[in-house]
Amino acid sequence: MTRRENALQPRAALEQIGRYHPGRKTPGKIKLSSNENPLGSSPVALKAIQNALGGLARYPNGSAPQLRSALADRFGVSCDEVLVGNGSDELMMLAAGAYVDPGTNAVIGEHTFSQYEFVTRLFGGEVRVAAMPDGCFNLEAMRQRVDGHTRLLFLCNPNNPTGRYIPERDLTEFLERLPKHVLVVLDEAYSEYAEAPDFPQGVSLLRRFANLVVLRTYSKIYGLAGLRVGYGFAHPEVIETLARVKQPFTVGNLGQAGALAALEDNDFIKRSLETNSAGKRYMYAELQRLRLSFYPTEANFLCIQLTASAEIAFEVLQYHGVTVRALGSFGLPHALRITVGTAEQNQMVVAGLEDLQRRME
């Protein structure tokens, strides 16, 4: 971006920000690039949304009191420890808007969700990156990048796009050693899918760590990505700080109604978990048969490492009817992220990977 006299002048921070590139969707192809629920949406939520259509002439209650109360009851916290937003992305933006200034910094992992870097740079902050060997967060390397000007540290557990996770003991020890002036943003967008016995539940750590905010979403397990409803937990003082930079009506009436109903749809959640678990077992076995390298995952997607470029693999899999996520933008030019789908969809992926191997021989 060049600056010319007498021309419109965007903020200097924008010079370091590129446009977001979402997972591609091709007409007629099965979309397995954005980790959406392959079963669709909670039917209970859909019914609640239909019932709420008559209220669209009214502004929503921006504080979402019913939804916050239900979330508080579900997770064993108080209402003043809950904040609802336009997807968990908005809550990340609020954290940066509340704590990041030019001259401050945030610490992130090398291969993780791009929004962490985006929201930090948007408010003029420096981004400090720690390497992620084997797709895992190197917590000690992240801690070493913290200084007196660090305001935020982002962790995604399980991590997008690698699917790796931070065990409870490691996370707790890390939080104990981290300076208290650093707010840890723990993104648990995929946590409902985690099966590891030592996978931590961030909400249980709030009583011990006042510098922690835990984010979750309705976009994955509940199949409501199109509604854009996320939520977060933190100490009341942190929630109050975030709320001060929040716009008033970011979660609409339909979103609140659908999210409130989906929270109680245990049958849909159960089916979603069973589908994901069975799909993971199938994909693990097939990838091992094909001798393809991949990370074990605690999420609803797999990160596969290839000898071919990810863009070539993307095109081959498109030929077999599915779109996947090439991970060049995550710093992984030879890797794909593939949503675990239905049995039929997973078979289509395997057929595409078999074809890719034949072409590379």
Confidence at residue 67, expressed as pLDDT on a 0 to 100 scale? 96
Phi-psi region of 174 (alpha: psi -120 to 50; beta: other; left: phi over 0): alpha
How many structural domains are present in the chain? 2
pLDDT tens for 328-358 read 989 899 999 999 999 999 999 999 999 998 8
- CA distances 251 to 66, 230, 330, Å, are 13, 9, 29
CATH code of the domain covering residue 224: 3.40.640.10
Confidence at residue 2, expressed as pLDDT on a 0 to 100 scale? 55
Confidence at residue 9, expressed as pLDDT on a 0 to 100 scale? 77
Using DSSP bridges, classify how beta strands 301-305 and 335-339 pair: parallel, antiparallel or unpaired: antiparallel
Parent domain of 282 = 12-40+266-360
Of 22-31, 259-268, 288-297, least confident by mean pLDDT is 22-31
pLDDT tens for 21-80 read 666 666 778 999 999 999 999 999 999 999 999 988 999 998 999 999 999 999 999 999
pLDDT tens for 191-234 read 999 999 999 999 999 999 999 999 999 999 999 999 999 999 99
**Other beta carbons within 10 Å of 131:** 11
- Among the candidates 229, 262, 295, a domain finishes at 262
Confidence at residue 145, expressed as pLDDT on a 0 to 100 scale? 97
Domain annotation covers residue 356? yes
Task: Mark whether 110 and 242 lie in a shared domain.
Answer: yes
Domain annotation covers residue 123? yes
- Among the candidates 228, 262, 296, a domain finishes at 262
Q: Per-residue pLDDT averaged across 263-288, rounded?
A: 96
CATH code of the domain covering residue 287: 3.90.1150.10
Q: With contact defined as beta carbons under 8 Å apart, do 258 and 69 qualify?
A: no
Q: What percent of the chain has pLDDT over 70?
A: 96
Task: Mark whether 214 and 283 lie in a shared domain.
Answer: no
pLDDT band at residue 7 under the 50/70/90 scheme:
confident
Q: Per-residue pLDDT averaged across 288-309, rounded?
A: 95
Average pLDDT of the chain is 93
Is cis: bond before 158, omega within 30 of 0? yes
Compare 261 and 307 and report the one with higher pLDDT.
Answer: 261
Burial zone of 236 (CB within 10 Å; 0-12 exposed, 13-18 middle, 19+ buried): middle
Compare 284 and 361 and report the one with higher pLDDT.
Answer: 284
Confidence at residue 13, expressed as pLDDT on a 0 to 100 scale? 76
pLDDT tens for 102-146 read 999 999 999 999 999 999 999 999 999 999 999 999 999 999 999
Confidence at residue 6, expressed as pLDDT on a 0 to 100 scale? 67
Q: Per-residue pLDDT averaged across 280-298, rounded?
A: 96
Task: Mark whether 246 and 349 lie in a shared domain.
Answer: no
Task: Mark whether 157 and 233 lie in a shared domain.
Answer: yes
Coil, strand or helix: which one is 336?
strand
Burial zone of 88 (CB within 10 Å; 0-12 exposed, 13-18 middle, 19+ buried): buried
pLDDT tens for 105-117 read 999 999 999 999 9
Q: Hey, what are 165's tokens?
A: 């996770």
